[in-house]
Chain A
Amino acid sequence: MDQSEFAVELINVWKRFDTFEAVKGVSLSIRQGEFFSMLGPSGCGKTTTLRMIAGFEYPSEGMLKLQGAEIGSVPAHRRNVNMVFQNYALFPHLNIFDNVAFGLEVKRTPRPEIQQRVRDALDMVRLPGMEKRKPAQLSGGQQQRVALARALVNRPAVLLLDEPLGALDQKLRKDMQLELKRLQREVGITFIYVTHDQEEALTMSDRIAVMHQGKALQVDDPRTIYQRPRTRFVADFIGTTNFIEGRLASNDGEAAMVEVDGVGALSALPNAEATTGQQVTMAIRPEQMSLKEAPGSHHNRVEGVLEEIVFIGNDTHYFVALRSGARIIIREQNRDAAPDDTPRAVGDRVAVTWPASSASVLLE
């Protein structure tokens, strides 16, 4: 194993097809042993980026490194990476054993070793005793596990996963998310995971790159991506976010003040890239907002009219219209009602509060 800190590095990578640019100057440094996700809507360039790492596409421009070595023009069959395909791409004419053994046979591994490693791989994905079956005789979830075993049996430097859970039903998907996380911890291989499902990315990843229109907008750990989105797209794509637009009145090291028409000055976390007087957007998560009065000066307090109350079992969602015209959503967990809780009704005048530290100032 070599000494590079990074398993995969992309340095200003571009991919142009005949009529459009799929990837526009993406730079990523993916650490050894990391569970790294590329998250974005379809057409954002995440799959093309993954296919470039696999070797099915070559970058039009930029540098691509695998464990420190430039691999931009190395063909797929000579790269020490393996891929789990969206629809598994199991070989229909080969049985499960031969599917999993394929990569080892290509490398002319001795027969006893192949048998041992295939058995171990099938045990690892909890699918023992299926060697003689054909892929068509297995369920979707089982095929998924075979695809994982077929890739992992080769002990690649990096495992690439292209929306591998997309074809599974909701329940199985949740199980497989945890299973994948367990597998990754066990084998210690770098996983690069492509998905359009934000919850999936948040659940499994050590770090996430949010991609949009061929660019990586933000690369951070899940908590930072969720709580400190840097662009409006990231805030909007991951979970639900309230946006309040206004003008940046002050922005020192400690806090920012945003002047909102019809509402007044609101405080938020400072943004070093913003300049005073600029039009900005404040982003606040619905669960950070409350209809309860909050003590202390580090809270914002805004009045509005309650327009809708939606009960969702564990949560209640309140929709409030502010005087600025913004419509915001507040999410409160349903616990046993405290004695001082006032029952609320649609049409009530309410005060919405949130801590300044939960509001981000976004430029785009």
Chain B
Amino acid sequence: MNKLRFPAFPLYYAALVLMLYLPIGVLFLFSINDGIAFSFPMKGVTDHWYRDMLKNAELMSALGNSALVAVTSSVAATALGAAAAIALTRFDFKGKAIFLAAALMPLLVPFLILGVALLILFAALDIDRSLVTVAIAHTVVSLPYTLLILMARLVGFDPKLEEAAQDLGATYPYTLRRIILPLIAPAMLAAWLVAFTVSFDEFVLASFLNKGEPTLPVYIFGQLRFANRFPQVVALAVLVMVLSITLFLISNWLQRIGSQAALEQRLGDGK
């Protein structure tokens, strides 16, 4: 690679980091600020917003709802994504290109449109809005991510491994269990974490398709009107952020060891 020659680069880089992380820093500062006004100078350091937050039953139930929806939809999206990725990378079938395009479509359709469409669909089918409908919607929008992550992994290892297993007498289910699933396991975990994150902070679909049981983003939006409770939301936001960043780092790391294994395998073959 060429050496970068751009004198203003440090400046550019500093601006980028500032734009990305200054809001997060400010958020953290005001979550420990002893006062409800968001203005400098700060009043003093406190942890009572965090303690209030933990005692807030409504907030905790919203957190629980979000966790429930995120776990369900991410598990479903990972399972469906794995099945579709194996079908798309290992088998030939009619309408393969259309199937892939259809599965990836939620990436392109604005959530607002999708939300309205699902709302109408559920109404037409006489299905009540609930956390279940939110989970279904989140599965649909997470599927493209899990599908792409798992397809990338499956393309990265030699299909001859599956032939070798069958040559040695293994049926397809046995090959799936002993060879394919172990090899894509890190990618499946990575896909699951991404799907979890997508669901956890999704607002539009969660507010359209839900009734009476708000998820966390919906609850937070509702709290914006109450200035005295707002610092609690800020404290919560900090916690969620820490959680998100942790999940993101783990998922990144998992994808890396997945592709590293693929790389080693290729290098091994090449000898």
Contacts and interface: CB of A to CB of B under 8 A. Distances in A.
B167 to A, nearest CB: 5
Contacts of B265: 92, 135-136
Nearest to B267: A136
A41 interface: no
Contact of B271 (A56, A102, A139): A139
A82 interface: yes
B174 interface: yes
Interface in A90-126: 90-93, 102-103, 106-107
Contact of A93 (B163, B165, B168, B183): B183
Contacts of A76: 163, 166-167
A69 interface: no
B167 A77 contact: yes
B269 A87 contact: yes
Contact of A85 (B164, B268, B270): B164
Nearest to B165: A102
B182 interface: yes
Interface in B164-190: 164-171, 174, 178-179, 182-183
A199 to B, nearest CB: 22
A154 B182 contact: no
Interface residues of A, number: 32
Interface string A127-154: 0000000011011100100000011001
A326 interface: no
A102 B30 CA distance: 59
Contacts of A74: none
A91 B179 contact: yes
A36 interface: no
A178 interface: no
Most buried by A among B168, B174, B267: B168
Interface of B: 157-158, 160-161, 163-171, 174, 178-179, 182-183, 261, 264-265, 267-271
Interface of A: 54-56, 75-78, 81-83, 85, 87-93, 102-103, 106-107, 135-136, 138-140, 143, 150-151, 154, 167
23 contacts: A56-B167, A75-B166, A77-B169, A83-B164, A85-B164, A87-B158, A89-B161, A89-B164, A91-B179, A92-B157, A92-B183, A93-B261, A102-B168, A103-B169, A106-B168, A106-B170, A106-B174, A135-B265, A135-B268, A140-B271, A151-B167, A154-B168, A167-B270
Given A91-B164, A106-B169, 20 more contacts: A54-B167, A76-B166, A77-B166, A77-B168, A77-B170, A81-B167, A83-B167, A87-B269, A88-B269, A89-B158, A89-B161, A91-B161, A92-B161, A103-B168, A136-B268, A151-B167, A151-B168, A154-B169, A167-B270, A167-B271
